[in-house]
Structure 1
Amino acid sequence: MNLMMLTEIRRAAQSGAVSAHVHVQVESVAPRLTREQQPYCELTLADACDRMTLRVWSDHPAYKTCSALTNQDFIELTAEFYQSQYGLDARKWTVRPLTEQEKNELLQGPADLRAKQAADWEFITETIQRILDPRLSGLCEAFLKEWGDRFRRTAAARNYHHARRGGLVEHTAQMMRVAKEIAPLYPQLNLDLLIAGILFHDSGKLWENALPENGFVMNYDERGELVGHISIGLELVNALWRKLSAENAEAWENLAPASEDVRLHLLHLIGAHHGEMEFGSPVAPKTPEAMALHYIDNLDARLE
C-alpha cells in the first residue's frame, strides 16, 4: 500500500476506490449529531496541497480516539478511499499518530512542490531586480526583505485557487510571467509598475492566509478578518513608501514621473485588482496596468 498525497488520492479515486496511506494534520475536530440524534465526529484533515473531511461514526472503533484529537495532532490515515456524493471519503480505515520524523517530512511538503516553489521564488526575486524605476525596485526589495519568509508560507486563497502553503508564491510568479510576455504587445503598459502591482496586489493576504511554520492549519487573523487584504495591502505600501521616500528624498526629487503619481498608480493597482466594486474592489480599473493586472490575476486563478 502506497503513501500518497491527498491530491493524488483524490485524482486516483475518480477512477475507482484506491487503498493508500496518507499523512495529514488534523485541522479541526467537530462533534455532530445525526438526524436520529446519534453522535459522530467530523474531522478536517490537511496536508501540503489539499484537505478532506472524515466522518467518524460513534460505533467506529476509533471514535473515542478521534474525538480526542486536536489541531496539533498529525496522523496517518490508512483507508480505502473513494468518491462519494460528498466528495473524497474513506472506509475500512485506521489511524495512528505520526512519528516526529514523519511529521517533519510532512511539513516540508512533497519534493516536486518544494522545487517548484523554490524556482518560482527565484523568478520573483530576479524579476524584481530588473525593475528600472528605483522607487518601485526599492519598495519591492524592502517588502521581500521584511516579509519574505511569511510570503513564502502564505496561500493565495483559502479554497478557490493556490490554497496551500506557498500558493501565493506560485500565483505571483505565474502572473509575472504572463505580464512579461504580454508587455511587448502593448507598449502603453508600464512593466515596472505592473510587476510591482503584481507583487503587492495580494500582499494583504500575508495576514489573511498565512500558514504557521509548523502546520497546515490556516488560522484566522484579526487584522485580516476586520480589515481585508486589499486595505492591508494599501496600508502596507503606504508605510513602506513613507519610510523609503524619507530616506531617499533627494535622490527621488527629480525623477519622472513624479513620485506621488507613482505611489497613487501603484495603490490603484492594488485597490482595483478585483475588477468590480461588487467583488470587493473599492474602485474599478482605470489605467492600462490596472486592467492588465485584473485580467492576469483572474486568468491564473481560474486556470490553476
Structure 2
Amino acid sequence: MPRTLVTELTDGQSLDQSFRLADKQIRVNRQGGKYLLLKLADRSGTIVAMMWNADDSDYEKIRRGGYVHCIGRTQVHQGALQVILTAIDDLAETEVDPSDFDQFDAGAADQALATLRDLLGNLHNVYLRGLGNAFLSDEAFVAKLRLATAAVSNHHAYPGGLLRHTVDLMEVCQFLGPRYPGVDTELLMFGAFLHDLGKIEEISASGELSYTDRGQLVGHIVIGVQMLGDTIATFEEDADEDFPNDLRLQLEHLIVSHHGQLEFGSPRLPATLEAIALHHIDNLDAKITSFTSLIESDLTNNEHWTNYHPSIGRKLWKKQ
C-alpha cells in the first residue's frame, strides 16, 4: 500500500502507515494523565504527533530512531499540521522500504562537495589552499562532512545540510568580501568553511538527529578548534614547514566568535572585520532558511500571512 509523504499530508486525513520515529517523549497533562509527544519522519520531512491517554508501555515499546506503524488523523493546530494517534506499534526494518525514509540526497551532496573543492582549491593564499587540501585529502573527514547535518532542528537539519550551509556561506563571503576593502575575502571564506565543522562530531546524522556524548560535553566550537589544530599539524608534516601562527590565530578566532554573543555560546565576541562579517552572514543564512521553512509549512487559510510563531514573535508575509 503506497504511503503519503509528510509534506503531502493534508488536514483531516486518516493515517494508517509507517514512519521513522525521530523523537519520543512521555508527558503528563494538567489532569495528571500521560500522553506521548512524538516526532514522525520520512524522506520529505517531519511532523509532530500526539497520543492521548498513553501509558509507560506505549512509550517503551517504540524505539527512538526506529520505525513505527501509526493509526490516527491529521489536524491543524495553531497553523501547523499535526497528527493525533489512536494506535502506534514498533516495526522491524524488514517491514519498511528504507528509501521512504532516507533524507540524504547523494546527488546534491556530490555537487556541493565539487563546489567546495573548487572554492578551496582556487584560493590564492598558499597556506589556506594547502590547509584546505589537507582537510579534503582526509577521506574519513570528507565522508562525514558529506552526511553531516547543520542542526538537530531549525536550519539545514537534514543529512547533507552542513555541507549545503557551508558552501552557501562561502559563496556569499566570496561575493560580499570584495565590497569591503578592509576585509580579507579568502580568510573570510575559509572561516565560513571552518565555522561549523565541529558539528560533524557534535551531531549524529544517522537515524535520529541527536547530539553525541562529545557534542553534549564539549560542543562544536571547541571540537572545531581541535579539528583545525589536528589538520594544521597534518599540513605541517606534509609540507615540512610551519603554518603561520598569526593566520592560525585568525582562523581560531573566526571559529570561537561566530555565534556573535557570549550568551549564544561564543567564548569570544567578534573582534576582527572577518569575524564580524562571518557572524552576520552565518546568521543571515540560518534565519532565511528557517523562516522559509516556516512559510512553506504554514497551513493557515490566510493567503498573505502565516500563523503567529511564538518562537520568533511574529507572523511572516507569504510570497504572492
Q: Is the 8 A contact 1:175 1:296 kept in 2?
A: yes
Equivalent residues of 2:48, 2:83 under 8 A apart = no
Match of 1:169 among 163, 166, 178: 163
Distance of 1:59 and 1:176 partners within structure 2: 48
Instruction: Deviation per CA, 1:19-59: give whole Å up to 9, x if none.
Output: 56775311334344444444433333233453333222348
Counterpart code for 1:90? V
Give the whole-Å Cα distance in 2 for the aligned partners of 1:2 and 1:21.
11
- TM-aligned CA deviation for residue 122 of structure 1: 2.2
In 1, the alpha carbon distance for the partners of 2:54 and 2:277 equals 56
1:30 aligns with 2:25: yes
Residue 68, structure 1, aligned to residue 61, structure 2: yes
Contact kept in structure 1, 2:22 and 2:39, CA below 8 Å = yes
**C-alpha offsets along residues 80-103 of structure 1, whole Å, 9 cap, x if unaligned?**
422214943224766674764843
Question: In 2, distance between residues paired with 1:36 and 1:150?
Answer: 46
Distance in 1 (alpha carbons) for counterparts of 2:66 and 2:155: 26
Please report how far the alpha carbon of residue 205 of structure 1 lies from its aligned counterpart in structure 2 after TM superposition: 0.9
* Residue pair 1:20, 1:81 contacting (<8 A) in 2 also: yes
Structure 1 match to 2:179: 185
Normalised by the length of structure 1, the TM-score is: 0.80
Identity %: 29
Give the conservation status (yes or no) of the 8 Å contact 1:45–1:51: yes
CA drift at 1:153: 2.1
Who is 1:279 aligned against? 264
Q: Count how many residue pairs are aligned between Structure 1 and Structure 2.
A: 286
| Contact 1:5 1:23 survives alignment (8 Å) | no
The alignment's TM-score, normalised by the length of structure 2, stands at 0.76
Deviation at 1:195, TM superposition (A): 1.9
Superposition pairs for residues 240-251 of structure 1, below 5 Å?
240-250=231-241
CA contact (8 A) 1:76 1:98 kept: no
Q: State the shift of 1:298 in Å.
A: 0.7
* SS of 1:83 mapped into structure 2: strand
**1:50 aligned onto 2:50:** no
Inter-partner Cα distance in structure 2 for 1:240 and 1:92: 49
Q: For 1:238 and 1:92, locate their aligned partners in 2 and report how far apart those are by CA, in whole Å.
A: 49
Tell me how far 1:242 sits from its aligned partner: 2.0
Q: Find the counterpart in structure 2 of residue 84 from structure 1.
A: 77
Relative to structure 1, is the Cα distance of residues 41 and 160 closer, same or farther in structure 2, using a 3 angstrom cutoff?
Answer: closer
Q: Matched residue of 1:108: which SS? A: coil
Aligned to 2:143, the other structure's residue is in SS state helix
Name the SS of the counterpart of 2:35 in structure 1: strand
In the alignment, which residue of structure 2 is the partner of 1:255?
none
SS of the equivalent of 1:152 reads helix
Q: Deviations over 1:250-293 (max 9, x none)?
A: 4x6xxxxx711111111111111111222221222222221221
Partner of 2:39, secondary structure, is: strand
1:241: Cα distance to partner?
0.8
Structure 2 equivalent of residue 5 of structure 1:
5
Q: Distance in 1 between matches of 2:20 and 2:54?
A: 23
Indicate the RMSD between aligned Cα atoms, in angstroms: 3.1
1:5 partner amino acid:
L
Letter in 1 for 2:277: A
Distance 1:22 1:244 in 2: 51
1:268 aligned residue: 253
Matched AA of 1:75: V
Asked if 2 retains the 8 angstrom alpha-carbon contact of 1:2 and 1:20, the reply is no
Choose from 137, 146, 152 the match for 1:158. 152
8 Å Cα contact 2:148-2:159 kept in structure 1: yes
**Whole-angstrom distance in 2 between the partners of 1:117 and 1:76:** 30
Q: Where is the helix percentage greater, Structure 1 or Structure 2?
A: 1
1:227 paired residue among 218, 236, 251: 218
Separation of aligned partners in 2, 1:167 and 1:59: 35
Contact 1:49 1:164 in 2 (8 A): no
Give the superposition deviation at 1:5.
3.5
Q: How far off is 1:204 after superposition?
A: 1.0
**Residue from 234, 237, 253 that aligns with 2:228:** 237
SS at match of 2:259: coil
What code does the residue aligned with 1:234 have? V
Structure 2: how far apart are the matches of 1:22 and 1:283? 49
